[in-house]
Chain A
């Protein structure tokens, strides 16, 4: 390389070429704007307030009540329903755990249905946080199970394994989230801030229990079917493009009620309670029954137990 050799030639006919290039650039820009015009429609669906909203844990009390009011009016506007959205916080001294009696569960799927209604799931996709596996007796190998069984239950030689979020104490879903949109609360419930999640679905890939769902489209729920008792971190109608999950119905359980799936269960297979309470039913079961933990080898430390009589 020699120092004074011409390096960048200047092009002749500068102005004519400039005009042609300018023309092309304008054309390109105009087509680009036309191509992405559907975005305008998407932008209408989210307000500036929504866009600018901070992470849930960083909202001041005033900001929080503004947000809740905004979400309520959005529910009215988009779904025509009058809802109240609470901000239920964990009750100190509480650690919720769940247990299912596999000797009793008969796979009728009432829990699945109750969850669907309680949590305002999209009607079209018939979503639920619970999946029930029909399994051959004598194995815990889910490879041999089926979630799409039909017909009269229980079937001979089968048992039923309902699976939902295990509210892990070492939740891989929380670890992987790049923006801290999901975390574990003091009462053991793993929650998602639907207004912070960017929808990367990394948590969905990380969860070993298929407990997370993504809103592939805007959920559709008829106004009259909407459950109006809602909470910010649980069953309010989710925005499109974010991940959601079972919250042990925190809008109920933090208000002293039982989860919807438990209330719906006709066999009494489900037990729910505060493990820190020495006199609780759940505590007695965990201490006296043969308890099984799903995928224990993964080290997720579920707060969800299965037991046999």
Chain B
């Protein structure tokens, strides 16, 4: 590959050179090895399957999902909730980097922000997939629609999620663009935004938790511990995903110096995974030790209710994964170079564990038993799985392209 500099001349304005930078980056991001093309082709295929399933859902009505008036939110909102966590958790790399001035983390912080971007895009897609009337989406747009602000928590969520998206687009765009121009980034233009994104990461997840815990008629969600629990598990799943990404990048790209960031993130998970487990235990204690009518959703979740047990296997899988992952993370040898595969599997376990816990383990039992105490179960339909996989594929596509865009920068910041 021959190369030449594309630094714009001084006379170029940002208005013309920024789009050019984006174009070039995208062009470059779609270059790659055979494996890369195979990966992207597979994702595209999965995405198309999802798009088709969604189009069918819109055409025929949501009857083709297995949601009902009893369980009126299912797999989509479960994934949405988890994705908000991933987006928040992705930025967790920022904390050690900027608050503790960890130089090495500075260089890879962008991976977390790119993950946040991909995750928010997925969030928005999951919300749209869940709408009965996506054609009326414009009703939500402030100004032309009717925005129930500040009463509805959902409008808060729309604001914080889009704000977070813009924030991260700005930070990543700015840092990479400066690289493209061959200039040193000016801290004035990004450090305040990075700090803001830390607070914002917490806010997106808190607001999303308020979405559920503000509903008095749903005792399973109506707990003050919901928001902190959300955060704790987000700070497990986000770093876990990034560790896996970085472990893969070591083999697939020429980015060096990822050992230290991986170690830092592992240390973060060591703490957050325990906090998360502790909160699960406290919540279970209050539920089961006190008893009463509040306990029925938890009973359903863990042991089944009136002979209905659809969620029980999910729950115990999640518990098993979380506990195994926690034990692995506590083992000091985990970071040894020989045990890289073990670290990756621990991350995957923690990730899947959090996905179940935040999704099927949180959203669905909120509806079972229903407010009139009927037990109507929910198992996602094939169509829901297809749409979900399609959105995940699209998110991974966004993430892959984003990482590729950032690679030149990441490669150049090798330790000298």
A contacts, CB < 8 Å to B: 1, 3-12, 17, 21, 28, 31-32, 35-39, 41-43, 46, 51, 55, 131, 133, 141-143, 145, 147-148, 163, 172, 175-181, 196-202, 204-210, 212-218, 239-243, 295, 298-300
- Choice from A148, A172, A204, A241 contacting B133 with Cβ under 8 Å: A241
Q: Which residues of A contact B28 (CB under 8 A)?
A: 8-9, 11
Given A198-B140, A205-B215, A240-B132, do A10 and B6 touch, yes or no (CB 8 Å)?
A: yes
- Min Cβ gap B14→A in Å is 16
Q: Which residues of A contact B5 (CB under 8 A)?
A: 4, 6-7
Interface residues of B in 394-416 (CB under 8 A from A): 408, 412-413
Contact indicator A205/B154 (Cβ below 8 Å): no
Q: Residue of B at shortest CB range from A295?
A: B217
Contact indicator B296/A210 (Cβ below 8 Å): no
- Choice from A12, A41, A46, A207 contacting B1 with Cβ under 8 Å: A12
Contact indicator B216/A7 (Cβ below 8 Å): no
Contact indicator A241/B408 (Cβ below 8 Å): no
Q: How far is the CA of A239 from the CA of B61 in the complex (A)?
A: 10
Q: How far is the CA of A38 from the CA of B56 in the complex (A)?
A: 6
Contact indicator A205/B73 (Cβ below 8 Å): yes
Q: Report if B30 contacts A (CB, 8 A).
A: yes
Q: Report if B101 contacts A (CB, 8 A).
A: no
5 nearest A-B residue pairs (beta carbon) = A199-B132, A208-B217, A9-B3, A241-B132, A217-B61
Q: Residue of A at shortest CB range from B179?
A: A7
Q: Which residues of A contact B51 (CB under 8 A)?
A: 32, 35-36
Q: Report if B284 contacts A (CB, 8 A).
A: no
23 residue pairs A–B, Cβ–Cβ below 8 Å = A3-B182, A7-B6, A11-B28, A36-B52, A133-B372, A175-B151, A176-B152, A179-B139, A179-B140, A180-B148, A197-B133, A197-B136, A200-B130, A200-B131, A201-B132, A202-B152, A205-B73, A206-B217, A210-B69, A217-B60, A240-B61, A241-B61, A243-B132
Q: Report if B112 contacts A (CB, 8 A).
A: no
Q: Which residues of A contact B296 (CB under 8 A)?
A: 143
Q: How far is the CA of A218 from the CA of B366 in the complex (A)?
A: 27
Contact indicator B61/A216 (Cβ below 8 Å): yes
Contact indicator A8/B24 (Cβ below 8 Å): yes
- Min Cβ gap A206→B in Å is 5
- Choice from B72, B151, B183, B215 contacting A214 with Cβ under 8 Å: B72
Residue with the greatest number of chain A CB neighbours at <10 A, chosen from B7, B133, B152: B133
Contact indicator B148/A204 (Cβ below 8 Å): no
Total A-B residue contacts, Cβ distance less than 8 Å: 222
Q: Which residues of A contact B2 (CB under 8 A)?
A: 9-10, 12
Q: How far is the CA of A220 from the CA of B362 in the complex (A)?
A: 34
Contact indicator A9/B69 (Cβ below 8 Å): no
- Choice from B62, B180, B366 contacting A8 with Cβ under 8 Å: B180
- Choice from A5, A179, A242, A300 contacting B412 with Cβ under 8 Å: A5
- Choice from A4, A177, A206, A210 contacting B148 with Cβ under 8 Å: A177
- Min Cβ gap B78→A in Å is 13
Interface residues of B in 123-161 (CB under 8 A from A): 127, 130-137, 139-140, 145-148, 151-155, 158
Contact indicator A205/B140 (Cβ below 8 Å): no
- Choice from B54, B134, B153, B183 contacting A3 with Cβ under 8 Å: B183
Q: How far is the CA of A133 from the CA of B293 in the complex (A)?
A: 17
- Min Cβ gap A17→B in Å is 7
Q: How far is the CA of A202 from the CA of B214 in the complex (A)?
A: 12
Contact indicator B293/A204 (Cβ below 8 Å): no
